[in-house]
Structure 1
Amino acid sequence: MARQRNYLNYTTPWGVALGRVAKAGWSPFLIHESGYREDLDNWNHIGVDSPFWRFYHNPEPGCFLRFQGRKIPLEPSTAILIPSDTVFDCCGPICAAHFWLHFTTSRPGRPIEQAPIKIALDATLSALTGEVIATHQSPALPSRDELLYHQSAALLHTAFSRLDLPSPAALPEPLLEILSLIERAPHSDLSNPFLAARAAMSTERFIRWFKAHLQQTPAAHVQAVRLRLAGEALALTDKSIEEIAVECGFPNRHYLSRLFSQKYGSGPAEYRLRQGKRRGK
C-alpha cells in the first residue's frame, strides 16, 4: 500500500506566492560569461553594441564609459548594468581592473530604456562582487566554473532587486504559454493563425490581444526572438549558419543574413568572426 504523502501544497496561507512574478517578471538569467582581469591594458572600445546585457564593476577608479556624450565613471563604490542593444564606449586612460558579466534576460511586454544603469554597491552587493572576483583569482579547480555560475547568478539577482522599476502586471496564462513556445521552438510554425489557434482566438483578435499586452505584434516578437537566438548560437556554438537558420526558424541562410544585417549591422559570418576574435580563436 502506497504511503500517504503529506504537505503537498506548493503554497501556504502564511507565505507570499511568487509564481506570478516568476512567470510575468524577468526571465531567468542566461549567463554567457563571467570574467575578471586586474591588468587590462588599452581598455578602449568605441561603439560597443551587444544583443546581451552586461554588468560592469571596476575595483579601482580611473576608467569610465561614454554614453551619448555623457561620461559615466566606473568607481569602486558602484556597478553598472548595461541593457542589450545599448551603444556606448569603453574608455581606459589607465590600466583597468575590470570585472564583467555577459548575460541575457528579458522583461516581456515592458521595454527597458537603452541606457547604462548605475547601482550603488551596498554591503551585500560589495560582498557578492568580492566573492566572484576572489573565485576568479583562485586556482582553476574542477568545481570553479559551477561556483562562478552560482555566485554570478546570486550577484545578478541581488543587483536587479535594487532596480527601482514599476512592478509588472500579470500576463494571462495563455500568453505566457505562447511566449514559452516561441522561446522553446523557434523552428516551428509560429504564424499568426497557428498561434491564434493555440490561444483559442481568431487571428485578428489574437493580434490585437498580443499587441495590447506586449506593445508589438506577434510577428515582430517572433522575429526578434529568432534573431536573438541566432546571435547566441553564432557566438556560443560551432554550428553552421545553415543549421542555425533552420533551427531558429528561417527558411534559409540568405533570409537569416538579410534580417540579421538589418538588425545588427553585419551578416552572420562577420558577426561570428568578431566573436571568435574576442575569444582568441
Structure 2
Amino acid sequence: MGIIDQDWFHVRTFISHEVPIHAWWKDRDVCSTYWRYYVNSRAGASIRLHADGSVFDLPPRMVHLVPAWVRFDLMPPANVVQHLYAHFDIVGLPGTLVREVFARPVSLPFDAPLRATAEAMRAAIAGADAARRPQAQFAAKAAIYAALAMLMSRLDPERSARISSALHPDSRLAPALQRIEADVALPLRVSALARDCGFAEAHFARRFRAELGQSPGQYLLERRVALAAQRLLLSDESIEDIAERCGFPDRFYFTRVFTRRMGVPPAAYRRGQPDLGGRRTRG
C-alpha cells in the first residue's frame, strides 16, 4: 500500500470566524450535514439537544465539537461571549457512522496543542480580507485536525474499531466509497461500484449494508443530500442548479428527497438555518 492510499480522511472547511454572541444567538431546530468547532471566551452559551432534551454547556478553555446531523437549539448567553468557530466536513466519514459513533457533541480539554492551534487560527482569520489569505484556511484546518486527533484518541475501543473496520484503506469497500465521493453527481450504478471492489453485485450490496448500515443507493442519496444542504447555505446558486450539480434529475425529485431526509424543503432549509459566511455569519 502506498502513502497516498492511506490518506482516506480529510477535512473540508467552509467558514472560520470569530464573533461576539449574545441574545441574537438563539436559532432553533438547527441540523447541518457538516461539523462545528467552537471555542468560547467565557461561560454562558449552550445548546439544547433534540435527541433527549438535555442541555450541553459550552464553557471556556475547551474545544467543543458538534458532529454533523445532530439536531439542536442555540441557547444564548446572558453576557457577551467571544465565539471562535469553524464549520467543516470530514470527507470520507459516512453519515451513518457519524450518527452511530458521534451521536452527541463532545468537549475536549484545552491542552497545549489545542490551545496553540486555536490561537493561531484566531490570529490568522482576523481582518476583513482573511477569506482571501491561504494561511487562514490552513490555520483553521490545523486547529480542526488537532481537535479531531484528540477526539479519535479518546474513543472507546468499540467505537474506534467500528470506524477502522469500515473505513480502513485496506477495506474492500474503499474503492466504492472513493468513487462515490469523487463522482457523486454522476449516475453511478451498483454494478460498477461492485466491480471497483472486485465483488459480484449481490455480495457487494450485502457487505456494504453490513459495514455501513445502508444500501449503496441509500448511501449515495445521502451524500447527495449532504452536499446539496451545504451548497444551499454556502452559495447563492439557485435550487435548480444545486439539484443538477448534486446529481438530482430535477428540482421536484430533489425537493421530495431532501424534505424526507432533512425535515424541510430546500428553500425552507436555506431560509431557516443559522447564518454563515459573508451573507451568513452566525456560528
Q: State whether TM-score is above 0.5.
A: yes
SS of match in other structure, 1:239 = coil
Equivalent residue, structure 2, for 1:204:
202
After the TM superposition, which residues 1-281 of structure 1 pair with which residues of structure 2 at under 5 Å, given as runs? 19-20=5-6, 22-23=7-8, 27-38=9-20, 40-67=22-49, 68-92=52-76, 93-105=78-90, 106-108=92-94, 110=97, 111-137=100-126, 139-141=127-129, 145-163=133-151, 164-165=154-155, 166-167=160-161, 168-169=164-165, 170-172=168-170, 174-274=172-272, 280=279
Report the identity percentage: 27
Q: Tell me by how many angstroms 1:215 deviates.
A: 2.5
> What is the Cα deviation at residue 277 of structure 1?
6.0
**Cα 1:130–1:208, aligned 2, differ >3 Å: closer, same or farther?**
same
Distance 2:75 2:130 in 1: 35
Change (3 A) 1:32 1:141: closer
Cα displacement string for residues 117-174 of structure 1 (whole angstroms, at most 9, x for unaligned residues): 111111221122122223344x445786322211111111111111212251335465
The one-letter code of the counterpart of 1:222 is L
- Partner secondary structure for residue 29 of structure 1: strand
3-state secondary structure, aligned to 2:68 = coil
Q: CA deviation at 1:223?
A: 0.8
Larger CA deviation: 38-47 vs 90-99: 38-47
Residue 43 of structure 1 aligns to a residue whose secondary structure is: coil
CA contact (8 A) 1:53 1:103 kept: yes
- 1:41 Cα deviation (Å)? 4.2
Distance 2:131 2:250 in 1: 40
Question: For 1:102, what is the secondary structure of its paired residue?
Answer: strand
Q: How many residues align?
A: 262
- What SS does the aligned partner of 1:38 have? strand
SS in 2 for 1:201: coil
**Unmatched tracts of structure 2, length 5 or more:** none
Does the aligned pair in 2 maintain the 1:42–1:95 contact within 8 Å?
no
Q: Is the 8 A contact 1:57 1:98 kept in 2?
A: yes
Q: CA contact under 8 A between 1:61 and 1:76: conserved in structure 2?
A: yes
Bigger relative contact order, structure 1 or 2 (CA pairs below 8 A, ≥6 apart)? 2
CA 1:135–1:201 in structure 2 vs 1: closer, same or farther (change >3 Å)? closer
Question: Which residue identity is paired with 2:57?
Answer: P
Letter in structure 1 aligned against 2:184: P
Equivalents in 2 of 1:273, 1:89: separation in Å? Answer: 16
2:86 partner amino acid? L
Is this contact kept in 2: 1:43–1:96, CA < 8 A? no
Quick one: which amino acid aligns to residue 191 of structure 2? P
**Mapped contact 1:41–1:96 kept (Cα < 8 A):** no
SS of residue matched to 1:33:
strand
CA–CA distance in structure 2, aligned partners of residues 60 and 152 of structure 1: 21
Can you list the C-alpha shifts for 1:89-137, whole angstroms capped at 9, x where unaligned? 2222222211111111152474323211111111221122122223344
Mean alpha-carbon deviation: is it higher for 245-254 or for 40-49? Answer: 40-49
Greater radius of gyration (CA): 1
Normalization by structure 2: what TM-score?
A: 0.82
Q: Which amino acid aligns with 2:179?
A: L
Larger deviation, residues 87-96 vs 254-263: 87-96
User: 1:91–1:240: structure 2 CA closer, same or farther, 3 Å change rule?
Assistant: closer
Distance 2:134 2:179 in 1: 28
Q: Secondary structure at the match of 1:65?
A: strand
Structure-2 separation of matches of 1:276 and 1:86: 14
Supply the AA of the counterpart residue of 2:140: S
